Structure 1
Amino acid sequence: MAHNEFKTAVVLGGTGWVGRSLCAALSERGTRVVAVARGRTEGLACDRFVSLDLATTPAATTAALLGEESADLVVNATDAANATDGWDRTEAELVRANVSLVEQVLHAVRAQPRPVRLVHIGTMHEYSPVEFGTPIDESMPCAPESAYARTKLAGSQAVLDAARAGAVDGVVLRSVNVCGPHPSPASLPGKLVALLAEGAVRLPIADAHRDWLDVRDLAGAVVAAGQRPGVTGVVNIGSGRAVPLRDFVHTFVREAGFPPSVVHNTATEVHSYGGSWLQADIRKAAEVLDWKPRWTLRESLKDMWAAR
């Protein structure tokens, strides 16, 4: 399969958990990286940082930026639920961050006189909940139950519609939950790091199974997708393995060097964005992106604690 060696990548949401790892992965391969976000974060690997509130920035401003930077790869790594100021959002805020922003990005990409590859990071929660033990492939129906997942689906669908119409060269990567270095403080991994740093983990642990992927593996999948112009549609990105959340928490505690007794489950019932089971079928990613995960869960969680 032909590869496109892009020269300049613009990472939208470049200071977020995924964006930060992606900027590092792109920089390591010699790509010129332009990170776009509201505020810069310490240790960000990029050649240029641009401060923009993408949820309110006009498409013309974003289009001008892409043109000035001669971008040939644009990655939308923005996500309302990964914002540094928390996960609680009204539906209007979710629409602005997960739908309107994507539409603005599509307008900006379409306005470019040169070919631009667009990689949009969606979520596996866009699919309908499935029965326990069912791997989720790209043919599964999408009827998410939460407002967050519904708005993420609407943003992904806008990219898919534009690609299907030939308006953009875009692909949607539907990612599982991520773990690994520098988690968002609002995420479960981020909360685990903060709690364990205080000496104990007291939190509600849902009776659920989740597929966890190292954030650096997700960054690798984005790079692979960026190198393959013409690959469109949806590609699931995950580890291909569902892990009970209790096991996830206990594995993290063990890899951080603490005894299991520091974990105290306060749960009776826990609300989450997805159902009680999530496991990605990642065969398509191997086929069309030549990608597979590299980091084991234990390695990822050990590195997550070490990077605190």
Structure 2
Amino acid sequence: MGRVAVVGATGCVGRQICPAFARRGHEVLAIARHPARHIASYRFLPLDIAALEPEETARTLQAERVDVVVNAAGRWGPTEAEMVHSHGGLVERLVAAMDLLPGRPRVVHLGSVHEYGPVPAGTLIDESIAPNPSNAYARTKLAGSTAVLDATRAGRMDGVVLRAVNIYGPHPPQETFLAALLRKLHGATSGGVIEVSIAPARRDFVDVRDVAEAVVKAAAAPVVGRVVNIGRGEAMEMHELVTLLFSAAGLPLDMLKVRDEQVPNRGGGGDWTRADIRLAAELLGWRPEISPWESVRAMWDAFTY
């Protein structure tokens, strides 16, 4: 494996994937619509893969001598049309570009555990569960994963799909619950009360840096046409996660006023997620290494407005 192209390199996950490959001596080509300071040390191409014709993408990847393509692009869009463009449309064009390259390029696609849809509490979500997405985000993520799997099984490329659980750690996306809570805690004043609405839910969270390590391992593993879950394999109470973040911020818990209420899960995964991660250990040699406290502490330390 030589040069690795990371699509969505400026995002929460992509910015961790780039250094994970670089630490192992690989050349990294960062691809995103706009540059960002945190990836300035890598060769950068300002491309919108979802808007480019596949022929142009293929010419670019061939000219750059890319051996592996990682798709870490994606976003929470305000409309389904935007998510169709960012998830399904982008992947379909990327797959079409792979068809035009010589050989069978290696593709690692980052999917989502939310593609499975809501499951009963206590379920250990393994890769045999048939996807049943419940909202636009999950449906469009599944469309992207399906495009990669179909093309791989048809022999058009060498692909693998990693379905990651909820991601935390440094630099969470600004539109997420955790980023909103970080902003609220940074603005806290001594003696004040911080009200937080928390769903009575238990969800699996994995550190973004552990996800990046899984991507690196998947790029080199002899695993083709498979879905592999990436998570901690634990269902954490949302109240516990909020408490950890208060501790990381150095705030006393008596400042926390919790309101238990049904808060919509934007990913569409319901009130319970716990991924079965045994296949990741078996096929990729991957296990999560970073503890919840380390993840939350890093999230707080790295936060900027």
* Correspondences of 1:1-308 after superposition (within 5 Å): 6-44=1-39, 46-81=41-76, 88-199=77-188, 201-266=194-259, 268-272=261-265, 273-308=268-303
Q: Is the 8 A contact 2:119 2:269 kept in 1?
A: no
Runs of 4+ in 1 over 6 A off after TM superposition: none
Measure the CA separation in 1 of the matches of 2:288 and 2:253.
27
Structure 1 unaligned regions, length at least 5: 1-5, 82-87
Contact 1:238 1:280 in 2 (8 A): yes
Output the TM-score relative to the length of structure 1. Answer: 0.92
Q: Is the alpha carbon distance of 1:234 and 1:45 closer, same or farther for their aligned partners in structure 2, counting shifts above 3 Å?
A: farther
In structure 2, runs of 5+ residues without a counterpart are: none
Give 1:174 deviation, angstroms.
0.2
Give the match's secondary structure for 2:146. Answer: helix
Question: Any idea what the Cα deviations from partners look like across 1:48-104, whole Å, max 9, x if unmatched?
Answer: 1111122212212211111011111100001122xxxxxx42121111111011000
Deviations 1:260-292 (A, max 9, x none): 133333453211121110000000000000000
Seen in structure 2, the aligned counterparts of structure 1 residues 202 and 54 have a Cα distance that, compared at 3 Å, is farther
- Contact kept, 8 Å, 1:159 with 1:171, in 2: the verdict is yes
Q: CA deviation at 1:204?
A: 2.2
User: What CA distance in whole angstroms lies between the structure 1 residues aligned with 2:194 and 2:50?
Assistant: 35
Segment of structure 1 superposing worse, 17-26 or 257-266: 257-266
Tell me the distance in 2 between the aligned counterparts of 1:47 and 1:290.
Answer: 27
Query: 1:40: Cα distance to partner?
Result: 1.3
Q: Shift of the alpha carbon at 1:18?
A: 0.2
Q: TM-score, normalised by structure 2?
A: 0.93
For the Cα contact (< 8 Å) 1:27–1:45, is it kept in 2? no
Q: Which amino acid aligns with 2:33?
A: R
1:154-198 deviation digits (Å, cap 9, x = unpaired): 110111111111111000000001111111111122222211111
Contact 1:24 1:46 in 2 (8 A): no
Return 127-136 or 208-217, whichever deviates more.
127-136
Cα distance in structure 1, aligned partners of 2:194 and 2:169: 18
Q: What is the deviation of 1:132?
A: 0.5
Q: 1:290 to 1:61 in 2, by over 3 A?
A: same
Deviation track 1:218-258 (CA, whole Å, cap 9, x = no partner) reads 00000000011443310000000010111111111112322
Greater Cα offset, 240-249 or 225-234: 225-234
Tell me if structure 1 keeps the 8 A contact 2:10–2:38.
no
* Change in 2 beyond 3 A, CA 1:211/1:230: closer
Aligned-pair identity (%) = 45
- 187-196 or 218-227: bigger deviation: 187-196
Q: Which amino acid in the other structure matches residue 302 of structure 1?
A: R
Alignment length (residue pairs): 297
Which string of whole-angstrom CA distances, capped at 9 and with x for unpartnered residues, describes residues 131-157 of structure 1? 111110000111111111011111101
CA distance in 2, matches of 1:263, 1:64: 54
Q: Does structure 2 conserve the Cα–Cα contact (< 8 Å) formed by 1:231 and 1:288?
A: no
- Per-residue CA deviation, residues 82-131 of structure 1 (Å, 9 max, x unaligned), is xxxxxx42121111111011000101122111442100000000003211
d(CA) in 1 for partners of 2:58, 2:196: 44
Letter of the aligned partner of 2:280 in structure 1?
Answer: A
Which letter does structure 2 place at the counterpart of 1:126? E
Matches of 2:121 and 2:163, distance apart in 1? 20
**2:65 and 2:104 mapped to 1: Cα distance?**
10
